Structure 1
Amino acid sequence: MKFSILIAHYNNAHFFKDCFDSLQKQTYKDWEAIILDDASSDHEKKIVQEMISKDKRFKFFENEKNSGVGVTKSKLIELAEGEICGFLDPDDAITPTAIQQCIDIFRAKKNTVLTYSRFMTCDQDLQPIAPFRSAMQVPNGDPYFFNFPIQIAHFVSFRKEVYEQTEKMNPDLKIGEDQDLYLKMYEKGKVQFIDDTNYFYRTHQGGISQNDNKKKSHEYFAQVIFSTMKRRGLTMINGKKIPDHYTGAEQIFGLLQYQHQLPFRIKKKIKITLQSIFG
């Protein structure tokens, strides 16, 4: 079972060594790394290409022009030859057993379409700061699950064959494209949490989620959730009408505030427990 690591690269060669080294250390050996460069400078591309030149498992591709993360990640999945895919940012890294743990679940549980674990927030030198504590097993098969608050996060892997059955990743999204992917995959089968910290998430000024786009992420995520509501054919949620057309993040997130309340959280925990017992 081949695993395709998908890397969308744009002028991050300075940090790529840690990413590269973490893949070299994987205990699971049947993997490929697909790098799609989104019109980086020639200098940046050369650094990456020289680094991977001696390992045939790395494949380097280029966009003709800067196209953004949605387009780039969509193309990466198309380029993947593996049965299982997982995204890894070029400025981040994974633990040596990260791929093996994913593969073990996909082999054992045929109805699992997506796995995810916990990430460690790190400084710009990839030194740990704190784990993402919200990561946990979510209830499966719930049409009102929107990953809000976020629980499914890095390290995520998924079956490419099942992805092909979805509407696929939205290439127009510049932020939130990962959440869009998770919710579409969620609708096709079971998702499984790996209770380990398998991903090192680097925070630095050049990161896409730490630059000016961070201000827009709330809006993009709301659009993803609204699209999910429509795709699932929902018209009401918790007794409130879902608008016919997108009106803004405030209204969409307002519809989901009940999911923060204690009665809902207790019911969710019971459902997760029962699913873990009875499958």
Structure 2
Amino acid sequence: MLFSILIANYNNGKFFPDCYKSIMAQSYTNWEAIIVDDGSTDDSVAVIKEIIGEDERFTFIQRSENKGCGYTKRECAKHAKGEISGFLDPDDTILEDALQIMVDEHKDHPDVAIITSRYALVDMKLNFIENGSHGSAIPNDKSYLTFGKGALTAFASFKQQLYDKTEGIDPNMKRAVDQDLYYKMEEQGEHLFLDKVLYNYRIHENSISNNENLYKAEYWHFYAIMNAYKRRKRLGLKLDNFSQNYASEYASRYYLTRFRELKHSKKTTSKFYFIWKAIHASPFHQFKHKIKSLLLLILGRI
């Protein structure tokens, strides 16, 4: 089986050498690497081109315009030729047996659409910090849509022919792109969890979970969840306890969170927007709290 390693790069030139070394160290050798650069403004293009050289296993695609993570990862998947694909961020690395383990498991489980594993958190020099807190199997009576809890995470690999049956990665998404992918792959078959660390996630200043972009990530997670709910309802797929009421309350909680983040700011228009969206999403969810907040906002007390 050919394994397609998918790398969406934006301004990670200084980290790519470590990523490259982890690819070259793989015990499984039947792989290709698809690298799409999303209009980087650092030296990424020069660094990547110099490192991969004329190695035909690497396909490098350079985009002059920055279009975001969703568009770039969709481009990666579009050019994959392997039976199995998996994303590797250019600032992270995979363990040397990661591809071999994934290929073996896909062979042993032909009906499984996506296989995920555990990950480790590492510092700038790839020194181990701790094992990641996410990653688990999903109970039989649940789906990733309702169980959530970060169950599906890196390292993740999926059968390309099943991915091709989906709508593909949403090119409009700026964050939570992997979550969108996981929902769509779950809709094509079973999920298998490997209780093994196969991926090193590097913690640095640009990590989404480590900077001011966290609220943007929250929005796109919400976007992915609601789209998955609507898609599964349209297709008649399993929703378990993700009812319309559940979805509405989820939306209400999300907008209330955004409102609270702005509560003590001077962004009055934004505060009105989020409290109104919370009321509209589910009028009776935390009704008293929302009405009180709206009245205090009208009176200029918050």
TM-score where L is the length of structure 2:
0.77
Tell me how far apart the structure 2 counterparts of residues 171 and 41 of structure 1 sit (CA, whole Å): 21
Tell me how far apart the structure 2 counterparts of residues 241 and 190 of structure 1 sit (CA, whole Å): 24
Corresponding residue number in structure 1 for 2:65: 65
Residue 240 (structure 1) shift: 3.6
Per-residue deviation, residues 240-275 of structure 1 (Å, max 9, x unmatched): 4533996662579x99xxxxxxxxxxxxxxxxxxxx
Structure 1 unaligned runs (5+)?
Answer: 256-279
Write 1 or 2 for the structure with the bigger share of helix: 2
Corresponding residue number in structure 2 for 1:266: none
| Gap change, CA 1:235 and 1:146, over 3 Å in 2 | closer
Residue 43 (structure 1) shift: 2.9
Tell me how far apart the structure 2 counterparts of residues 179 and 239 of structure 1 sit (CA, whole Å): 21
Report the residue type matching 2:75 in the other structure: K
Report the residue type matching 2:131 in the other structure: P
Corresponding residue number in structure 1 for 2:37: 37
Tell me how far apart the structure 1 counterparts of residues 46 and 156 of structure 2 sit (CA, whole Å): 28
- The reply on whether 1:190 has 2:190 as its aligned counterpart is yes
Q: Is the 8 A contact 1:141 1:190 kept in 2?
A: no
| Gap change, CA 1:85 and 1:223, over 3 Å in 2 | same
Residue 222 (structure 1) shift: 1.4
Corresponding residue number in structure 2 for 1:136: 136
Secondary structure at 1:150 match in 2: coil
Secondary structure at 1:182 match in 2: helix
Q: Is the 8 A contact 1:6 1:35 kept in 2?
A: yes
- The reply on whether 1:249 has 2:254 as its aligned counterpart is yes
1:1-279 to structure 2, matched below 5 A, reads: 1-41=1-41, 43-139=43-139, 142-143=142-143, 145-146=145-146, 148-233=148-233, 237=242, 240=245, 242-243=247-248, 249-250=254-255
Further displaced range: 239-248 or 22-31: 239-248
Structure 2 unaligned runs (5+)?
Answer: 234-238, 258-277, 282-302
Report the residue type matching 1:82 in the other structure: G
Tell me how far apart the structure 1 counterparts of residues 152 and 185 of structure 2 sit (CA, whole Å): 12
Tell me how far apart the structure 1 counterparts of residues 126 and 62 of structure 2 sit (CA, whole Å): 27
Report the residue type matching 1:127 in the other structure: N
Residue 173 (structure 1) shift: 0.8
Secondary structure at 1:124 match in 2: coil
Residue 88 (structure 1) shift: 0.3
Q: Is the 8 A contact 2:144 2:152 kept in 1?
A: no
| Gap change, CA 1:239 and 1:20, over 3 Å in 2 | closer
**What percentage of aligned pairs have identical amino acids?**
37
Count of residue correspondences: 254
Tell me how far apart the structure 2 counterparts of residues 115 and 179 of structure 1 sit (CA, whole Å): 14
Q: Is the 8 A contact 2:145 2:228 kept in 1?
A: no
Per-residue deviation, residues 22-67 of structure 1 (Å, max 9, x unmatched): 0001011000011101111373211111011153211111113111
Tell me how far apart the structure 1 counterparts of residues 54 and 161 of structure 2 sit (CA, whole Å): 30
Tell me how far apart the structure 1 counterparts of residues 123 and 201 of structure 2 sit (CA, whole Å): 8
Report the residue type matching 2:129 in the other structure: I
| Gap change, CA 1:237 and 1:12, over 3 Å in 2 | closer
Per-residue deviation, residues 64-111 of structure 1 (Å, max 9, x unmatched): 311110000001000111111100000100000001111001111110
Tell me how far apart the structure 1 counterparts of residues 106 and 144 of structure 2 sit (CA, whole Å): 25
Tell me how far apart the structure 2 counterparts of residues 40 and 104 of structure 1 sit (CA, whole Å): 35
Tell me how far apart the structure 2 counterparts of residues 109 and 247 of structure 1 sit (CA, whole Å): 39
Tell me how far apart the structure 2 counterparts of residues 82 and 45 of structure 1 sit (CA, whole Å): 24
Provide the aligned C-alpha RMSD in A: 2.6
| Gap change, CA 1:40 and 1:100, over 3 Å in 2 | same
Tell me how far apart the structure 2 counterparts of residues 147 and 25 of structure 1 sit (CA, whole Å): 35
